[in-house]
Structure 1
Amino acid sequence: MTTASGLPAIRESVQWAVLDAPEGSASLVALAEAAVEHYALNYSKHPPSTLHDEVRATRNLLSTVVAAADRETARGLRRQVGWLSALLGNLAYHLDDRAGARAHLTLAGAIGQSTGEAALTAWSSGALAMVATARRDWEHARGHAEHGLQHAPAGLRRAQLLGWALLPTLAALGHASRADDVVSESDEIMRSADELPGRFGYDRAEHRLHVAEAHLTLERYDRAADVARTSIAAAPEHTPGWVAATLVLALAEARDAPDEAAGRALNVLDLIPPARLRATARTRLARLTQLLDPAASGAGAELAERLRALPAPIRTDGTAA
Structure 2
Amino acid sequence: MTTASGLPAIRESVHWAVSEAPDGSATLVSLAEAAVEHYALNYSKHPPAVLLEEVRETRALLSTAVAGADHEVGVGLRRQVGWLSALLGNLAYHLDDRAGARTHLTLAGAFGESTREPALTAWASGALAMVATARTDWGHARRHAEYGLQHAPEGLRRAQLLGWALLPTLAATGRTAEADDVVDESDEIMRSAGELPGRFGYDLAEHRLHVAEAYLTLERFDRAADVARESAAAAPAETPAWVAATLVLALAEARDTPDQAATRALDVLDLIPPPRLRATARERLTRLQRVLGSSELAERVRTLPAPIRADGTAA
Structure 1 gaps, min length 5 = 294-299
Shift of 1:27: 0.3
Shift of 1:26: 0.4
Residue 132 of structure 2 corresponds to residue 132 of structure 1: yes
Q: Deviations over 1:257-312 (max 9, x none)?
A: 1111010000000000000000000000000011012xxxxxx2111110111100
CA distance in 2, matches of 1:176, 1:224: 14
Pairs within 5 Å for 1:263-278: 263-278=263-278
Equivalent position SS for 2:311: coil
Residue 45 of structure 2 corresponds to residue 35 of structure 1: no
Shift of 1:203: 0.3
Report the count of equivalent residues: 315
Shift of 1:194: 2.1
CA distance in 1, matches of 2:144, 2:257: 37
Equivalent position SS for 1:145: helix
Letter of the 1:307 partner, please give it.
Answer: V
CA distance in 2, matches of 1:226, 1:43: 27
CA distance in 1, matches of 2:107, 2:299: 40
In the alignment, which residue of structure 2 is the partner of 1:296?
Answer: none
Equivalent position SS for 1:317: coil
Residue 211 of structure 2 corresponds to residue 221 of structure 1: no
Shift of 1:256: 0.7
Pairs within 5 Å for 1:72-83: 72-83=72-83
Equivalent position SS for 2:3: coil
CA distance in 1, matches of 2:180, 2:60: 43
In the alignment, which residue of structure 1 is the partner of 2:300?
Answer: 306
Q: Deviations over 1:70-111 (max 9, x none)?
A: 010000000000000000000000000000000000000000
Pairs within 5 Å for 1:90-109: 90-109=90-109
Q: Deviations over 1:56-81 (max 9, x none)?
A: 00000000000000010000000000
Q: Deviations over 1:159-215 (max 9, x none)?
A: 000000000000000101000000000000000012100000000110000000000
Residue 191 of structure 2 corresponds to residue 191 of structure 1: yes
CA distance in 2, matches of 1:133, 1:41: 25
In the alignment, which residue of structure 2 is the partner of 1:152?
Answer: 152
Letter of the 2:67 partner, please give it.
Answer: A
Shift of 1:6: 0.3
Q: Deviations over 1:119-146 (max 9, x none)?
A: 0000000000000000000000000000
CA distance in 2, matches of 1:171, 1:13: 45
Pairs within 5 Å for 1:6-21: 6-21=6-21
Percentage of pairs with the same residue: 81
Equivalent position SS for 2:255: coil
Residue 241 of structure 2 corresponds to residue 247 of structure 1: no
In the alignment, which residue of structure 2 is the partner of 1:52?
Answer: 52
Letter of the 1:309 partner, please give it.
Answer: T
In the alignment, which residue of structure 2 is the partner of 1:167?
Answer: 167
Letter of the 1:227 partner, please give it.
Answer: V
Letter of the 2:280 partner, please give it.
Answer: T
Structure 2 gaps, min length 5 = none
Equivalent position SS for 1:180: helix
CA distance in 1, matches of 2:301, 2:186: 35
CA distance in 2, matches of 1:224, 1:174: 16
In the alignment, which residue of structure 2 is the partner of 1:317?
Answer: 311
In the alignment, which residue of structure 2 is the partner of 1:287?
Answer: 287
TM-score, normalization by structure 1 = 0.98
